[in-house]
Structure 1
Amino acid sequence: MTSVAVVLDDYALAAVPGLDGELARAGALVMRAFQGTPSPHLLRRYRGAAVVGGPDRAGLLARLERATTSVAAPVIGILPPGVPAGPELRGPGVVDLVPAGAPDIAARILLMANVPVVSAARAPRPGAGIAAAPAPVRGSGAPADVIAIASSTGGVWVLAALLRELPCRGRAALVAQHMEAEFVPFFAEWLEGASGWRTVLVDAPVPLAPGAAYVAVGGRDLLLDGSVLRAAPSSSRFVPSGDRLLACASRLGARATGLVLSGMGTDGAAGLAEIARAGGDAFCQAPATAVVPSMPESALRRTPAAVALPPAALAAALTARGTALHAGPPAGT
């Protein structure tokens, strides 16, 4: 059995010129003769990322519904021309909605396709590293830089690409990615494989340490209490709550960085404002680059001084900030 399965219908494949060969070289399985409907049997057997498309609005919605009831993995929907990324298209498991003409569509799908097979024998344990991939080099003691991230639809690929480019030494990433509870173990395993960061599922209290990304178990909020991370009952309709996570991180003052990525609604805006008020740095994905711009737009209205950057520029900006924190104050101050 292949370790990666990407399911594309004919429309989705046609919307991504050249993707076929790239996926083949990556060792992925590409199925393209679904006549508009992914095979539920295949999706159950290969528990990977489903990529589905459709020639019209109703057809796309039906494909998303069928795919998300069968595959225990994130699903990408490719939007036909003229179909907006409306809230009704964000069904369970749908983590990215990609316009067919997006210039980075192949890179996004290939990143999402970097997933291992999930099985009961390999189910991740809360509080432990998710995958068997080599752990990144980590420092000791408390992280100098803690990055708290609020993300929803369209933010998953930005998150993984950011962490892949961001050095993990001396910093920790706390992630509030809106997602149905059943998909969280898969997401955590996928994030470790796609980013190279050791990823920890938090249920029981876990000490905060550098060199790791932290995700709460499904249906819970991720909280930082001093130097300990824990999962708490959800507090809003956004699960996990980005506002609650960023507000906790704000207690670290200048050591905290807040980041709001693509998504519907206003989650993360209030928490980012608290980080800025406490002396931390506030960043947003540039709304024009977001699949769904509501979350970063709301954050910028609440914190106009927040730095808004396209995904390709976020890692460099956060790396520069972390370098300044590691350097400490100038001599003689």
Structure 2
Amino acid sequence: ATLPVPLLIVQHMPANFTPAFAQRLDQQCAITVRHAEDGDSLQPGTALLAPGGKQMTVERRGQQNVVRIQDGDPGLNYKPSADIMFSSVAKLYGGKVLSVILTGMGADGREGARLLKQGGSTVWAQNKESSVIYGMPGAVAKANLTDEILDLASIGPGLTQVFH
């Protein structure tokens, strides 16, 4: 199954783990998954995983949309941060985004999800029952920013339904 849109992944993980994680996802998934590098273009059917210890944003460069990989603010708790990625995606794509917030600690993703919703985008969150840690999806749900709250096993089929 190929995906007719690009996919961006932010996982709170140290820098020494993300290359192997991207490789493992690539082996396990029907779509291509790559460890993102600065300047990579966003391609349908390709997922780009943010490198640990860095911030991933998106911008328009000429005729294409690309990721920027930067050190970012040293004072931030999360590197990479879903909020930072979501806010740049909201600026670039407006209401044409489907974001999914999965299990994770803290409230990273909530403010970015708010910006996406304000722009007319769709926000899904993983439900409490299937989350290891309900912090991130719970923060988004508690702020009433979700269009759907789904069991982990329903998210993949849900995405397939939306994009095919």
- TM-score normalised by L of structure 1: 0.45
Is the aligned partner of 1:178 residue 2:16?
no
The answer to whether the 8 Å contact 2:123/2:145 transfers is no
Structure 2 CA distance for aligned equivalents of residues 276 and 290 of structure 1: 22
Q: Is residue 2:57 matched to residue 1:223? A: yes
**3-state SS, counterpart of residue 219 of structure 1:** coil
1:1-333 matches, within 5 Å, as 167-226=1-60, 227-235=65-73, 236-251=76-91, 252-323=93-164
Aligned letter for 2:82? G
Equivalent pair of 2:124/2:148 in contact (CA under 8 Å) = yes
Where relative contact order (Cα < 8 A, 6+ residues apart) is larger, the structure is 2
Task: Say whether the 8 Å CA contact 1:273–1:303 is kept in structure 2.
Answer: no
Contact 1:245-1:271 at 8 Å conserved across structures: yes
Aligned-pair identity in percent equals 25
Structure 1 residue runs of 5 or longer lacking an equivalent are 1-166, 324-333
- Are the counterparts in 2 of residues 234 and 241 from structure 1 also a CA contact under 8 Å? no
- SS in structure 2 opposite 1:296? helix
- CA drift of 1:283 comes to 0.3
Equivalent position of 1:54 in the other structure? none
How many residue pairs end up in the alignment? 157
Q: Give the Cα–Cα distance (whole angstroms) in 2 for the partners of residues 294 and 169 of structure 1.
A: 28
Counterparts of 1:304 and 1:246 in 2: how far apart (Å)?
13
How many angstroms apart in 2 are the aligned matches of 1:246 and 1:260? 11
**Deviations for 1:24-51, whole angstroms, at most 9, x for unmatched residues?**
xxxxxxxxxxxxxxxxxxxxxxxxxxxx
1:88-125 Cα shifts (integer Å, max 9, x gaps): xxxxxxxxxxxxxxxxxxxxxxxxxxxxxxxxxxxxxx
Which has more helix, going by share of residues?
1
Q: Which has the larger radius of gyration?
A: 1
How well do the aligned residues superpose, as a CA RMSD in angstroms? 1.5
CA-to-aligned-CA distance 1:252-277 (integer Å, 9 cap, x gap) = 12321111100110001111111111
CA gap of 1:201–1:305, structure 2 versus 1, over 3 A, is closer
1:278-309 deviations in Å (ceiling 9; x for gaps): 11111000122100011111011223443100
TM score, norm. by length of structure 2? 0.88
How far apart in 1 are the matches of 2:94 and 2:132? 31
Runs of 5+ consecutive residues of structure 2 not aligned to the other structure: none
Alpha-carbon distance in structure 1 between the residues aligned to 2:153 and 2:117? 23
Instruction: Call closer, same or farther: CA 1:275–1:304 in 2, change over 3 Å.
Output: closer
